[in-house]
Every structure is written in C-alpha cells, then in structure tokens.
A and B are shown apart, each in its own frame.
Chain A
Amino acid sequence: MDAIRIPAPAELDALDDEHFRQVVRAFLHENYPDDLRNPPKRLHWDENRPWYMKLAERGWLCPGWPKEHEGLGLSPAKQIILTEEYERYGVARTNDHGIVMLGPLVIKYGTEEQKQRFLPKILTGEHIWCQGYSEPNAGSDLAALRTEAVLDGDEYVVNGQKIWTTLATDANWIFLLVRTDKQAKKQEGISFLLVDMKTPGITVRPIINLEMHDEFCEVFFDNVRVPKENLVGQLNKGWDMAKALLGFERIFLGSPRQSGYALSRLKILAERMGVWEDAEFQDRYARLRLEFEDLKALYGTFVERLKRGESLGPDVSMLKILQTELFQAITDTMLEIGGENAGLLEPMEGNRDLNIGGLFIQARPATIYGGSNEIQRNILSKNVLGLPG
C-alpha cells in the first residue's frame, strides 16, 4: 500500500479508475486519523478540523470543484470511487456544506466577485457553512417556506426561522432559501441568500435528537440585515437553482454501505447472543443478506449509468428507499435478538460492534431526511411511473 505514489491533485482525474482507487486508499492510509474511523456520531468542527485542514493542505478538499477553483475536477464516476473508498475506510463526514452545496452553487450561479469572495475561504476553512432550507412548517413541502427577505435600501431584512440546520453551532456562514415574493406561486418567490452568522439578530439553538446528540439546530432571524450583494443568482430563482444542484450526489443517499456495516454487526451480535446457528435467525439473516446484495447490484447499475456519462433520473429515488428501509430492517432485527441489552444507552459490554440501541436509533432519520421515503415514493409514482395527480 505504501508503495503507491500519490500524484499531484491536478493529475488525479486522468488516472484510470482502478489506479485512482488504489491512490485514494493509500491517501487515506497515510493521512486519515485512526481514532476517527467509523465514529458513532456525526462529528463537530473541533473534531473534524484537523482532517479538514489536512485535506485542504493536500488539495483534496473539493473533489467535485473544477480545477480552476482549486478543486480536483473529478468526473462523477471518480467522485463515486472516492466516496466508496472514504465509506469503506470509515471516514467521518466533515462540515461539508460549503464544499458540497454552497461552492458548486456559487461556481454555477455566482458573480465573479462572489466567487473571489467566498470560494477561497471554504478552501482555507475560514468559512464553515450550514444550510438553511427547512422550516417548522416547510419540511417535506419545502417550497412552503416563509422566512422572508425584504429589500430596504441596500440591504435585505430577514425574518423567520429555520430548523434541522445541521451543525449550525459550528458554522459561521449560512446559505438560505428565503421568500422574496409573497404574491408569486410558491416556488417562484424564493431567492438564495448568504448570511454571516455574526450578524445581529441571529440566534442558534441546538436540538437534542434521539441519539442524544446536538447535530441539528434551530436558527432564528429577527430583523437580520444582509447586504444585497449577498444574493446569489437572480431574484426569485432560488428554488430552481437549489433544485438544479441536486445532481448525481443523490446516489449517495442510496449507498448500500450503511446496510453493509449494520449487517456485519448483526452477525457479530447474533454470534454473541448465541442465535447465529438458529434456523429461524438464519432465514431472517439470509433475507437481509439477499436484500443487501441485490441493492448493491441495483446501486451498481446506477453507477454504471454515471460512468457512461448519463445523468440520473428520478428513479434514483428507489435506491434511497431501499437502502434506508433495509438499514432499519437490519437494526430492527438487532433489537429483537439483543434481549434486554437492546435497551442499553451505551454499547453492550462497552464494545462498539455491539451498539444495538445506538445503531437502531441512527437508522431512524434515514427514512426522513433527504426527502422522506413517502416523498420518494411520490416521486417514483409521478415521475417514473407516470401516475396522475
């Protein structure tokens, strides 16, 4: 593994796929901190910072950005390989909203001035971004959002509330979808606004979730004054821009990796509980295994499409539904065979591989976030099967 030379960032996209995979493995082996592999919870900035800065220093921070903006300029196929290898190695997700969401949006829709002002600060870690989309009354129906921005002189005045804002306590900037036209059809009165979180009138309040973790926050805006040059793209076109940004990355919501991790822990648990050889358990396990294998095969067909240069259609929703429901089914089974240990707050016997309740709870939000599975089924019905209404 150490024998593999890691080429300069600009050369990575030209490698053939298998060579690239080996390079990513070597890179992780060489650079990723061992104690951060497979963390049981989403890490905060103080924990993520060293890895973020290491990526920045090596020029690996922004795989999808074009090279002219100091990205790796990787094709979708290569980005998938990179993600697969990160997942396989158990690399923690960093505070990546600037890298994954805001950066590509500014690159696509921002002015030259906005690019100069914002992109370099993502690369240096000076700006840590969070995403202000959902609101208490705009969850699955996101376009119903009501946080408004009213122009007053050279500034927008923002009032309203965002919720489920991931890692907002770590962030110093937030990108918002705001209502700028209350008369228009709901999707057509929304704009995209960048806000410095130090601006007076912003309050951030963490929400403790079922994992007893403060990953999500509420963010309140009370007469927050934002310079009008912080609007990205055209006024009232924010919805279209946010939608256009939902590219091939949607495939990652359906990556079978979480289920693979859970399945192998289910086996460890079954052996520990003495039910592995049990015929009834074997049949249940076999069903889960087969779901997993076929999901991997289906996932593979979508990856192939990307490798051929095709874009993904709405049928990618299938992967998200199947993966998240399988993840839950596996952890349901863990709960069932774990006996009283299932109710423990900490991993059984202090062993992270026997984290029954923890994994079960981690599996819960997967069917809710990223467009709930009910929304995904609506998408399938209407946009794939062509059912009316």
Chain B
Amino acid sequence: MSAALSGEDRAESIRMIRDSAAAVAPPGGDMKRVRDLRFQTPGFDPAILRQMGEMGWIGLRLPEASGGAGLGLGEACALAEELGGALVPEPLIPAMLTGSLLAAVGAGPLERVLTGESLVLTAWQERPDTLEVPGSPDAARRFLPMAAGAASFLLPVREGGRIALYEQQAGAGLTTEQTQDGGHLGTLEPNLGTATRIADDIGEALSLALDEAALLTSAYLLGGMDRAFAMTLDYLKTRQQFGKIIGTFQALQHKAADVKMQIALTRASIEAAAATLDAGATGDARRAVISRAKSRAASSSMLVTRECIQLHGGIGYTDQYDVGLYLRKAMVMANQYGSATLHRRRFMAVSPEVEE
C-alpha cells in the first residue's frame, strides 16, 4: 500500500494530488464562487461534492477493496491544504470521516458517501471542544458542519461497553446556526426510534477517524494561512505610504518574517505527523503527533490570519477584501476536532519524555 512508498514515489504522488486539486481549487482563481455560497443554504455546491467523489477524494484514504484510492495521509494532507488555500466550502473532511467509519465497519451507505452522491455526517459531538464520544442516546448532537445539506446522520450510541452506530435520516430535529465563514453548524435531536442500527462496535474506528480529521483540518488551515500570507506579501510589495513601499519598513518586515516561521513550523509539524502515521504509528504515538500538529495549526492559523489583517491595515478590515475570508475561516476551523489547548493537554498526556 501507499504507506510503503519510497520517499521519491511519495513526493511524486503528493505532487499529483496537488495538481488534481486544481479541478476544484484553481491556482489564482478568485473567490467569487466562495463568496456566492456564503450565508446560503446549504452553503456548498452538491455538484462539487459529487465531483470530489468522482475524483476519488472522499475515499482517498480507504483501501481499494472498500472503493477507495488507497493513498496515505501525506496525500490527504496535501489535498486538504490545497482546498484550504482556496477556502473550498464543500465539507470534504467530514465526508471523509464518515467514509472511514463506514469502511471500517463494512456497513451503511458507504457507496453513496464515497461518490459524493449524499452528504452523510457523523454526529458524534455532544459538547464543545472535545474528542470524546459519550454516545448518549438522547443528547443533542452538535456542531455539525453544513448539516442543512446532509441526507442522513450517523449517531454513535453507547450500548454497554461498546459504541454502536445508527443512521438517522435528515428531516425533523435539525436546527442550524450560521458561522463566521458563511457556513453553518447544525444541532440534531436524536430519534433512535426511527433510526437504523448499522454497526455495533465503532469506538476504535471513530477515534482513529477523528484523529485523521483533526490532522486534515490542520492541513486545511495551513493552506489558508499560506495563501493569506501570500496575499499579504503582495500587498507589502505594492502599497506605498510616506513615499515608500511599506514592505521596506523593518517593523513590518520582521512581523512578516515571524509569520513565515509560524507557517514553516506548521508545515513541518503536519508533514511529520502524516509521515509518522503513514509509517504505521498507532496508539499514543499517533495521538502525540496529531495533537502536536493540530495545536500548532490552531494557534498559528489564528496568529497568521490576525497578522495578515494587521499588515493590510484598514483594507484588511473590509469584507470586500479577501484576506478577511481567511481569518473568518480560521475562526471556524481552528477549534474543530479539538482546540489548541485541548491538544496541548492531550500531547502532554500521551507524549514520551523529551529526547535530548
């Protein structure tokens, strides 16, 4: 499988996936599509989600036997990064999470999920800022991204010592709240009476899928901060004040250098995590590298996008100017699948001692 790829083959495979991302996230493309979808329902284009399915992205990580592409996290992170750069609103990461879960249990609407025909969201979360899945049968399931576009929801439900999985069709019981990036988050009231039980022990598969979603979210944020910074550099090289290009001012140069270093650390952290997992790390070793990457991406995405606004000055504070879109996206995604604090704490709980 892909995990065994040599360094060179992997680099080539990652380059190909980046190129293919251009189908949805064309380099140099404008933000018109993204802006048109903001604050609309369902907030994304189902046709693009199907296109993602056709391109094999939703099943990118799954083995070919499950209808996937059999690629590694290195490739998946590269893809998420490209999409983050273009602020692509389609909920690819939640769809991939559901795909992983269904492939692991070998049941449920896997095919419709992988083709992008249906958006099926895994409704695992009962409270903010957590990676834990209590699986309460009657607790509202919260923070469901793009829930208004979902055909059905998967509900983990604790039964004794195990967590079973139910599928509840969309319809009654869903409320939504708009988010800063123009999307929305849904809250779902479970109705297990009408739901279909599709698997009876998904605990381990779900925790793995949540970890991968946390890493992909980090990569998406990386793409966003990288692009926001590129826009900012262009601005620093053209804007004039006091008769000079503002990029000649050392105060701004050093701020820009600091931003660059944060982005470099984030990339190194994410790539190290992906490589560690692709090399087969499990358990605490897996959790440690993922928590490292997510805490880094969460805090640096906020730092970088904030600084990008500041370096732009007044124009950066207008909704019309695109750099603000990146700040608003970071506000929404930085805390998904665990905030920086949560992941720092988890890192300390699972990581080994400092290796001198």
Contact = CB atoms under 8 A, between A and B. Distances in A.
Contact of A321 (B247, B261, B292, B296): B261
Given A290-B292, A378-B250, A381-B253, A297 B354 contact: no
Interface stretch (A60-68, A280-288, A357-365): A280-288
Given A260-B356, A300-B272, A374-B254, A295 B265 contact: yes
Contacts of B271: 297, 301
A88 B356 contact: yes
Contacts of B254: 374, 377-378, 381
A287 B344 contact: yes
Interface in B240-273: 244-245, 247-248, 250, 252-254, 256-258, 260-261, 264-266, 268-269, 271-272
A235 interface: no
Scoring A287, A297, A381 by chain B CB atoms within 10 A of each residue's CB, the highest score goes to: A297
A318 B354 contact: no
A289 B237 contact: no
A286 B248 contact: no
Contacts of A263: 354
Nearest to A286: B344
B237 A322 contact: no
Interface stretch (B32-40, B156-164, B199-207, B345-353): B345-353
A322 B260 CA distance: 12
Interface in B150-174: none
B233 interface: yes
A333 to B, nearest CB: 14
B138 interface: no
Nearest to A285: B348
B245 A389 contact: yes
A323 B302 CA distance: 22
Contact of B356 (A261, A301, A321, A376): A261
Contact of A322 (B245, B248, B265, B351): B265
A264 B354 contact: yes
Nearest to A267: B354
Contact of B348 (A286, A301, A382, A388): A286
B355 interface: yes
A78 B347 CA distance: 32
A176 B111 CA distance: 73
Nearest to B252: A387
Nearest to B232: A385
Contact of A388 (B245, B272, B345, B354): B245
Contacts of A267: 353-354
Nearest to B245: A388
24 contacts: A267-B354, A286-B345, A290-B292, A290-B296, A294-B296, A295-B265, A297-B268, A298-B264, A300-B272, A315-B264, A318-B261, A321-B257, A377-B253, A377-B254, A377-B257, A380-B260, A380-B261, A385-B253, A385-B257, A387-B236, A387-B248, A387-B256, A389-B245, A389-B248
